[in-house]
Amino acid sequence: MNPEMSEKTVLRSRLLGARAALAPVLIEDAAESLARHGMELAELSGAATVAAYVSVGREPGTRALLDALHARGVRVLLPVLLPDNDLDWAAYEGREALAKAGRGLLEPTGPRLGPEAVCEADAVLLPGLAVDGRGMRLGRGGGSYDRVLARLARAGVDPALVVLLYADEVVTRVPEEPHDHPVHAVVTPEGVTRFRP
């Protein structure tokens, strides 16, 4: 294991442990604040299409934000995990159109649009465990969103990249590798931090 991978593994473990200790009421309150601040971010609320995800477990909650975007008429694309860990996409049609899938995920039940559908997004909401002051994101390490970011780069599109986190997950430094990409903004229950225009 290279040093960057070891640093990432240690940081992931620490952050996941902190999330595991969060009280359910704090998670619910944070989700409402995240939705409010997320809708204040023009890159999300003013987009025609947003690629997002359904939070699970103790992840910062996305469901209120998904509903707010959908109610505003934003086309929301949600991922469908493929067997090789790549992501297909389908439109969000409301909470009643979500089904349980592998790994505890919730996925949309509508028609699959293909892995390239993410390239139509004006903004991409990325899951993460941390972001640093340079906008470098630490994901869970599965590689699904590394593929998404590589696909966007190959297509020559530059949607706004946004991460939802708890406030203490904005850290001093995230170990990075050559394939890592900085994000444009992070939304926490306390507000929005932008890293680049």
Q: What is the DSSP string of 43-94?
A: HHHT-SEEE-----TTSPP-HHHHHHHHHTT-EEEEEEE-TTS-EEEEE---
For residue 3, the tally of other CB atoms under 10 A from its CB is 8
Q: Is 25 annotated as a binding residue?
A: no
CB-CB contact of 57 with 22 (8 Å): no
Where is pLDDT greater, at 4 or 92? 92
CB-CB contact of 138 with 129 (8 Å): yes
Q: Give the model's pLDDT for residue 72.
A: 95
Provide the CATH topology of domain 3-194: Rossmann fold (3.40.50)
Q: Is 193 annotated as a binding residue?
A: no
Rounded Cα–Cα distance for residues 16 and 4 (Å): 18
Q: Is 133 annotated as a binding residue?
A: no
Rounded Cα–Cα distance for residues 66 and 34 (Å): 11
Q: Is 9 annotated as a binding residue?
A: yes
Q: Is 104 annotated as a binding residue?
A: no
Q: Is 139 annotated as a binding residue?
A: yes
CB-CB contact of 52 with 76 (8 Å): yes
Q: Give the model's pLDDT for residue 6.
A: 85
Which of 2, 25, 30, 43 is CA-nearest to residue 168? Answer: 30
Which of 118, 136, 140 is CA-nearest to residue 184? Answer: 136
Q: Tens digits of per-residue pLDDT, 126-155? A: 999 999 999 999 998 888 999 999 999 999
Q: Is 144 annotated as a binding residue?
A: yes
Average pLDDT over residues 99-103: 89
Type of residue found at 92: Y
Q: What are the strands of the beta sheet with 170-171, ordered from one edge?
A: 137-138, 130-132, 170-171
Which of 53, 71, 72 is CA-nearest to residue 63? Answer: 53
Q: Tens digits of per-residue pLDDT, 30-86? A: 999 999 999 999 999 999 999 999 999 999 999 999 999 999 999 999 999 999 999
Say how many CA atoms lie within 13 Å of 108 toward its Cβ. 22
Specify the 3-state DSSP secondary structure of 36. helix
Output the six-digit token pair for 62. Answer: 């996305």
Q: Give the model's pLDDT for residue 2.
A: 55
Q: Is 145 annotated as a binding residue?
A: yes
Q: Is 59 annotated as a binding residue?
A: yes
Q: Is 12 annotated as a binding residue?
A: yes
